[in-house]
Amino acid sequence: MTTVVIVDDHSLFRAGVRAELDGLVDVLGDAATVEDAVACVLELEPDVVLLDVHMPGGGGLEVIRQVAERRPAQRFLALSVSDAPEDVIAIIRAGARGYVTKTISGTELADAVRRIADGDAVFSPRLAGFVLDAFATLTPAEVDPELDQLTTREREVLRHIARGYLYKEIAARLGISTKTVEAHVSAVLRKLQLSTRHELSRWAVQRRLVD
Amino acid sequence: MSTAPIPLRRDPAHGYIAGVCSGFAARLGIDPILIRIGFVLTLAAGGVGIPLYIIGWAFIPAEGPERPVVSRLLNRRDTWLVAAGMGCLTLSAVLLLRNWGLWFGDRITWPAVVTAAGGALIWRQSQAAPDEAKPHRPALPRDAVNRAGVGAALVIGGALLFLSLNDSLATARDVVLPVAVVLIAVTIILAPWWIRLVRGLASERAARIRSQERAEVAAHLHDSVLQTLALVQKRADDPLEVAALARRQERELRAWLNDSRPAGTATLAGALESAAAEVEADHHVPIEVVTVGDGPLDEAASALVAAAREALVNASKFAGPEPISLYAEVENGRAEVFVRDRGPGFDPEAAPNDRRGVRDSIIGRMERHGGRATVHSNPGSGTEVELVMES
């Protein structure tokens, strides 16, 4: 069974997630602070860390940074009530392989955890929307097409995610396999993390100004 | 005469003193400056104009609101020019009185004039303070302080002049000197307390601003979150209602926290979000809204929102409790909206008559505004309404 550590500063929420994931994945432990989380993850070595974005002492970003120094292969799934674009994009760029909101159901969350453990990316409809928005604001004149633009197929996949389709439904609609859909999403994730476009990192700020 | 003559009215809004001259000018239809020149000439010719002016002030009714003369003069920007003018006028009046023999003697009148000028400056300040005061001004403005200083100097100077002219200063000096010494000593002693008091006031102000902000946040939470929590407790036996309440409150709180759109500007994305919130509140089916890009809410966009709203209502009615997805993308003036549900679906070709809402209020509405609407549905796989508006 997939092993998980829950990092969240709300004890009520940790207990709730634990109860919901009971029997679906193996919850090894939980932590409420950045320090505890780093120690806990390094000791227990779970497949996936469920990570809250907002915590005292630097939040999820700081946990990713400190863990990545000693365990670069650790996989994170961000789980937050925040849907502010700057939070979402920042945590993905820091290295989280997916982002889901806290209203997600237990089975969906367990499914997302398993997919992250398999090395895939998990995009919620909202995250897909943010990513489309982020790449849409890039001006084509100075982009590195390898990293700074989405292919037509990738855009198509993201738009379907944003429209509320599941991976297997997208595969059926586009006439490709579910694995190919997952490959496209992972490629988007890689571009999101590796693109050095300063627009992308400053995108959230710009969005607020432009809106 | 075909037109009725303009009644004679004073015009305080455009006049310099009480608007008598400009009132006459309006009555006669000429430039007020001519009347004013005439008035000044009468001053040279023995000052006949002054009593006439005062009579006019007293008997001619004013047109519009009347402002106090002194405050109006001193509210001008070129205050020093006005002050100089007033000084000249006062001087000429005083000299006139002296000439006429209405005079108490140089010893009394000159100090009195100087003192009165200083007093006028200080009083003007204390009168102006309330309406000029802004809520968060850290201190009195510099020119107000200057004015008060000059006023005080004039008053004290006038008093000293009076005393020295009347030879009572020599005895006064014996009294004043010890008093001054004592005052200076007291100032040195009290200065630290005073400084501490000023600093204390500043920090108290900061604390007050903080507590005001706290009160604002608290008021908002009372009106929204706490109210909803109370409702949730009351309706604890109705899970659908509770979920709807929680979602509505969540939306509202997020909007308040993010506050990313400037108030008062209607955009397509904002209109779609509020439409979704309304439908969700009415039908208690969660709606997930994702928007990419945004555009102005013109007529075509409004029609698009109305059609999307209709599609959301349909989905809420027929597609049961599963969440509905609303996705909108605006790019290069082309707006696309997808409304997807996970309900039983239907065969659009064999749509029964009660689905006429789809044809009229969605497809028809979109086509009337130059867009198009397509319904993708198969029994068993949910329904997706696609709305496209090109502009």
pLDDT by 10s per residue, chain A, length 211: 889 999 988 888 888 889 988 888 999 988 888 888 999 999 989 999 999 888 887 788 889 988 988 888 899 999 887 777 777 888 888 888 988 887 788 888 998 999 899 888 888 888 888 888 877 765 555 555 566 678 888 889 999 998 888 888 899 889 999 889 989 988 888 888 777 655 555 544 444 433 3
Asked if A128 reaches chain B (Cβ–Cβ under 8 Å), the answer is yes
**Stronger pLDDT, B348 or A31, i.e. the higher one:** A31
Strand intervals (E) in chain B: 287-292, 324-331, 334-341, 371-377, 383-389
Of B261, B291, B384, the CB nearest to A129: B291
B110: CB partners within 8 A, 6+ apart: B161, B165
* Residue A52 near residue A43, CB atoms below 8 Å: no
* Residue B60 near residue B20, CB atoms below 8 Å: yes
Q: How far is CA A206 from CA A75, A86, B107, in A?
A: 29, 10, 74
A6: alpha, beta or left? (left if phi > 0; alpha if psi -120 to 50): beta
H-assigned helices in chain A = 11-21, 34-44, 59-70, 85-94, 106-117, 125-136, 145-148, 152-162, 167-174, 178-194, 198-201, 203-210
Asked whether residue B141 carries a pLDDT value surpassing 50, the answer given is yes
Mark yes or no for CB contact A164/B254 under 8 Å. no
Q: Cα(A173)–Cα(A161) distance, rounded to whole angstroms? A: 12
Mark yes or no for CB contact A133/B260 under 8 Å. no
Residue of B nearest to A85 (CA): B258
Predicted pLDDT at A197: 57
Say whether B387 sits in a helix, a strand or coil: strand
Mark yes or no for CB contact A132/B292 under 8 Å. yes
**Mutual orientation of helices A59-70 and A34-44 as an angle, nearest 10°?**
30
Q: Cα(B39)–Cα(B21) distance, rounded to whole angstroms? A: 8
Q: What is the pLDDT of residues B41-61, one digit of tens each?
A: 777 666 667 777 777 776 677
Mark yes or no for CB contact A129/B293 under 8 Å. no
B182: CB partners within 8 A, 6+ apart: none
Tell me whether 0.95 is exceeded by the ipTM.
no
User: Hey, what amino acid is at A59?
Assistant: G
Asked if B329 reaches chain A (Cβ–Cβ under 8 Å), the answer is yes
Asked whether residue B136 carries a pLDDT value surpassing 50, the answer given is no
Q: Cα(B291)–Cα(B296) distance, rounded to whole angstroms? A: 14
pTM of the model: 0.58
A15: CB partners within 8 A, 6+ apart: none
Instruction: Write out chain A residues lying below 8 Å of B260, CB-based.
Output: 207-208, 211
Of B254, B292, B338, the CB nearest to A83: B254
User: Which two tokens mark B179?
Assistant: 């008093």
Predicted pLDDT at B308: 92
From the centroid of its chain, how far is CA B257?
24
Predicted pLDDT at B339: 92
Strand pairing class (B287-292; A98-101): unpaired
Q: Which of B106-120, B179-193, B251-265, B359-373 has the highest mean pLDDT?
A: B179-193
Mark yes or no for CB contact A163/B384 under 8 Å. yes
Q: Per mean pLDDT, which range of B149-158, B164-173, B280-289 is the poorest?
A: B164-173
Of A84, A129, A207, the CB nearest to B290: A129
Burial class from Cβ neighbours inside 10 Å (0-12, 13-18, 19+) for residue A82 reads buried
* Residue B242 near residue B284, CB atoms below 8 Å: no
- Specify the residue for token string 């509770």: B242
H or E stretch including B58? helix B49-59
DSSP string, B282-346: HH---EEEEEES--B--HHHHHHHHHHHHHHHHHHHHSTTSPEEEEEEEETTEEEEEEEE-S---
Predicted pLDDT at B122: 72
In chain A, which among 53-72 make CB contacts under 8 A with chain B?
Answer: none
**Mutual orientation of helices A178-194 and A85-94 as an angle, nearest 10°?**
100
- Specify the residue for token string 């897909």: A128
